[in-house]
Copies of this chain bind each other. A is one copy, B any other.
């Protein structure tokens, strides 16, 4: 049986990138290593759509989120948190650990925070120093209107700080044009690398804040990364083989072109949604994004059991809901190195397992609708 990975991180890694990871290890303080980091940094700026340096940190996405909080806020500062799921709650956990007074604008799982809600919160809390948002709320499949958020926050002194971990590179996100002051992403999502690196951008507005605050912590102190990056270097021994491999995956993104890449993800996501609906299933997210499709487990179906069967019988690994959502949703990623034919296969396998389990469904309904949507180029 052929294993196929459809979890919303880690995601499949291109073969040429995997082979890069098997190459002998080299020294991280050499002219070659600096050239690699310089190239990766330029390509990351392209992916982020920013003119400002993007920093490469050796850590999980959460380490990047901690860098975003620890560098921009002092204990006791107030922040507005827009939370629509588990990753909004991750922001909350980090904010709490750093003593930030958090005003939570919270919606139920499956819903999206609206620009109106943010507008109201900004009006009520003019002293908020930052707004924390999530591009793709991977726990529910919701995408947020960051462009609209950015317009509102830009009018204030607050910073817009974005968890772009599972969305960046899979859906439109223009860091500079949209006024995102700090954007965090991870290597293991649309950037087509195994986990291990986080990437963080900072706007001039963010830097003014950072430079005015005393440092909190050492390893994630962005000033150290800025100083080193001026010489195409890193302050601490980086995961240099991951960085070298990231170059290979970024080359693929450059070759496709960021707008084509967003459009491809949007097409596949739309086709996937059409297929899901044609199978008689419902989407969980009211504002679905292009990184993943989240399906509500229908009544009477064993959600977790179905995923186990899907993996055991057909090799397709989708993700279950997390924590309280376990067994209630299925999460199917189409980020990064996944094309329409991959996702078509996943829907076909899901059809088979559902039919076998007694769910009323006409075989081929989902895949035909998916195919029709692809043919229509939607």
Whether A298 is near chain B, meaning CB under 8 Å from some CB there, is no
> Which chain A residues (202-251) contact chain B, with CB distance < 8 Å?
215-221, 235-242
Whether A10 is near chain B, meaning CB under 8 Å from some CB there, is yes
Asked if B194 and A25 sit within 8 Å, CB to CB, the answer is yes
Pick the residue among B9, B22, B220 that contacts A21 (CB under 8 A): B22
* Distance of A199 from chain B, by nearest CB (Å): 14
A11 partner residues in chain B, CB cutoff 8 A: 25
Closest to A20 in B: B22
| Bound: A239/B221 CA distance, A | 21
| Bound: A323/B134 CA distance, A | 41
Whether A51 is near chain B, meaning CB under 8 Å from some CB there, is no
Asked if A59 and B58 sit within 8 Å, CB to CB, the answer is yes
Asked if B63 and A241 sit within 8 Å, CB to CB, the answer is no
Pick the residue among B19, B26, B196, B236 that contacts A22 (CB under 8 A): B19
Pick the residue among B30, B94, B241 that contacts A194 (CB under 8 A): B241
> Which chain A residues (21-48) contact chain B, with CB distance < 8 Å?
21-28, 30
Asked if A194 and B239 sit within 8 Å, CB to CB, the answer is yes
Asked if A62 and B195 sit within 8 Å, CB to CB, the answer is no
Closest to A196 in B: B239
| Bound: A25/B317 CA distance, A | 12
Pick the residue among B23, B186, B217, B237 that contacts A237 (CB under 8 A): B186
Whether A88 is near chain B, meaning CB under 8 Å from some CB there, is no
Asked if A60 and B236 sit within 8 Å, CB to CB, the answer is yes
What is the total number of copies of this protein in its complex?
Answer: 2
Pick the residue among B28, B94, B236, B242 that contacts A239 (CB under 8 A): B242
Closest to A240 in B: B195
| Bound: A68/B35 CA distance, A | 33
| Bound: A162/B9 CA distance, A | 34
Proximity string of chain A (134-174) to chain B, C-beta cutoff 8 Å, 1 when within and 0 when not: 00000000000000000000000000000000000000000
Asked if B240 and A28 sit within 8 Å, CB to CB, the answer is no
Residues A26 and B5 in contact in the complex (CB < 8 Å), given A59-B219, A241-B194: yes
Asked if B25 and A13 sit within 8 Å, CB to CB, the answer is yes
| Bound: A21/B195 CA distance, A | 12
A13 partner residues in chain B, CB cutoff 8 A: 24-25
Whether A188 is near chain B, meaning CB under 8 Å from some CB there, is yes
Pick the residue among B9, B12, B24, B238 that contacts A195 (CB under 8 A): B238
* Distance of A318 from chain B, by nearest CB (Å): 10
| Bound: A94/B238 CA distance, A | 17
Asked if B66 and A97 sit within 8 Å, CB to CB, the answer is no
Asked if B60 and A217 sit within 8 Å, CB to CB, the answer is no
| Bound: A17/B240 CA distance, A | 16
A63 partner residues in chain B, CB cutoff 8 A: 58-59, 63, 219, 236
Asked if A24 and B9 sit within 8 Å, CB to CB, the answer is no
Which A residues have a C-beta under 8 Å from some C-beta of B? 3, 5, 7, 9-13, 18-19, 21-28, 30, 58-63, 65-66, 70, 93-94, 97-98, 186, 188, 194-196, 215-221, 235-242, 317, 319
Q: A11-B25, A58-B195, A63-B236 are known contacts; what are 17 more A-B pairs with Cβ within 8 Å?
A: A5-B24, A10-B28, A13-B25, A25-B188, A25-B194, A58-B58, A58-B63, A60-B238, A62-B235, A70-B217, A97-B217, A97-B221, A98-B217, A186-B237, A196-B196, A219-B220, A239-B242
Q: List 16 A-B contacts (CB under 8 A).
A: A5-B27, A10-B27, A13-B25, A18-B23, A21-B241, A25-B188, A28-B195, A58-B58, A58-B196, A59-B59, A60-B238, A62-B235, A62-B236, A93-B218, A98-B217, A195-B241
The 6 closest A-B CB pairs, nearest first, are: A196-B239, A22-B22, A97-B218, A60-B236, A194-B241, A21-B21
